[in-house]
Structures are given as C-alpha cells and as structure tokens.
Amino acid sequence: MAASSTSTDGTATPVPLQRSPDSVETDFHALNVSNPSDMNDFQQTETELTNAKARQLHDDVVEYRNAHKDKIDEIKSRIRETYPNQVAQQLSPGIQDHIKAEVQACTKDEMKMQFEKLMPISLRQQLDEINGQLSTVKNAFSNSEARSSNSSIDIVDAVTRKDKLKPVLKPDGTKSSFWPLDLISLFAYDPETVKKLLRDYELPIDKVHDTNLNSFLGYIGIKQQVV
C-alpha cells in the first residue's frame, strides 16, 4: 500500500510506504500461521540444499583422494622405508664408534675386576715385593760397577787428568742432582753443597768439611782420602 501527494501542477505522485521491522516480522508471522504448509516447504527445501552441498563436498574429497592415491602411497612408502634407512646410514659410523668404545671400556673394566678376584692379595703383595727386590739388586749391581771404576782413580792424577766419576745411584735408584762430574768439581763444592750431597745418599754429616769429603769419597769407591 502506498500513499500519494499532489504536485504544484495538480498531478498525484505516489510516495513509498515506510514500514518498520516490527511490522515486517508481524506479517511474516501471520503468513506462517495462515499458510503453515508453505513454511514447511521452505524449510524442507533449505535442508535439501544443505544436504546436497554436504554430499557434493564429500564426493569432491573422495575424488581428490582417489586421484592422488598413488602419490600419497609413494610418500608413505618413502617415510616408512627410504628415510629411516638414510638416517641409519648417516648415523651408523658414529654409533658404531661409540658402541666399540663402550665395549672396549667395559671389557677392560671387567678383565681388571676378574683379575683382582682371581689373584689373591697376598700374591700381588709378593709380586710387588719381588719387583722391589729386583730393583734393589739391579741398583746394587750398578753401584758396585761404579765403585769398581771409581776405585781406579788417583786423587793426585785426577786433578790433572780430569777423570770422570762414574755415578753411584741413590737408595731410590736415581742419580743425585748434586753428583760431581769429576774430583775437581767435588773439591770445588762449598761445605753446604757437600752436606746436600751426603743427605741424598743418607750418609752421616760431620762438622768438619774434609771429614764429609772423605766420607763421600769412600762411599763412591775412592780409597784415598783428603788430608
């Protein structure tokens, strides 16, 4: 329904009827009440359209999966087989080295443990004692040869001939850091250095310097003494 207005020349001009949202909703409700079958048909049509779209979407997904099935299967196959093998090949050298090192360490520790179990403590002590005795005998033999060589040196001649002294080892089997190269070097030592030399060989120390020299000379095999 439309209203009209009259223009200046007397012609009637139709004016659109302005309706509020409430009036439109009222008319729609009235239509639904007066024609319920029409409303049901509308709802049924809307449902059928929705179902049709859902079926079409499902069919599209199935068609896409079927079209790309081979490609998908290939990707799955590579993931299951190819990639694990490649990773294993890349890691295997490092893993093998690590495993080898671990096995060697475990084997070494196991052998040591088993050896300690099988070997009595007393036997190990006996071996240590025997090794110590062998070292003592070896040092004694070396010192015996050194004293025999030094015994041939004459104090007077040694000053001019500069005969070298053959080293006599300390009780621990090492050479003293104060060992003199020859008798000239020994006689040049001051009293304190001579005392240090005597301490290295665990010899008694006297207050008189010449007494200390003679003690050392006799210890290393020289029979003559300083007077």
| HEC assignment per residue over the chain | CCEEEECCCCCEEEECCCCCHHHHHHHHHHHHHHCHHHHHHHHHHHHHHHHHHHHHHHHHHHHHHHHCHHHHHHHHHHHHHHHHHHHHHHHHHHHHHHHHHHHHHHHHHHHHHHHHHHCCHHHHHHHHHHHHHHHHHHHHHHHHHHHHHHCCCCHHHHHHHCCECCCCCCCCCCCCCCCCCEHHHHHCCCHHHHHHHHHHCCCCCCCCHHHHHHHHHHHCCCCCCCC
Mean pLDDT along residues 36-41: 55
For residue 141, CA distances in Å to 111, 168, 176, 186, 203 come to 37, 10, 17, 24, 19
Of 4-18, 38-52, 60-74, the range with the highest mean pLDDT is 60-74
pLDDT tens column, 72-86: 677 667 666 665 565
* In the predicted structure, residue 224 carries a pLDDT above the cut 60: yes
- Which two structure tokens, joined as six digits, stand for 50? 């929705």
User: Are the beta carbons of 226 and 208 closer than 8 angstroms?
Assistant: no
Q: Which residue has the higher pLDDT, 210 or 134?
A: 210
Position 80 scores a pLDDT of 67
* In the predicted structure, residue 15 carries a pLDDT above the cut 90: no
With a pLDDT cut of 90, the percent of the chain lying above it is: 32
Mean pLDDT along residues 80-97: 61
Position 169 scores a pLDDT of 95
Mean pLDDT along residues 89-107: 66
Burial (CB count within 10 angstroms: exposed 0-12, middle 13-18, buried 19+), residue 9: exposed
Output the average pLDDT for the chain.
75
* In the predicted structure, residue 147 carries a pLDDT above the cut 80: yes
Mean pLDDT along residues 104-132: 71
Mean pLDDT along residues 45-67: 72
* In the predicted structure, residue 30 carries a pLDDT above the cut 60: no
Closest CA to 213 of 224, 147, 14: 224
Position 63 scores a pLDDT of 74
Q: Which residue has the higher pLDDT, 181 or 63?
A: 181
* In the predicted structure, residue 109 carries a pLDDT above the cut 50: yes
* In the predicted structure, residue 185 carries a pLDDT above the cut 80: yes
Position 84 scores a pLDDT of 58
Mean pLDDT along residues 27-53: 59
Amino acid at 23: S
Mean pLDDT along residues 27-38: 51
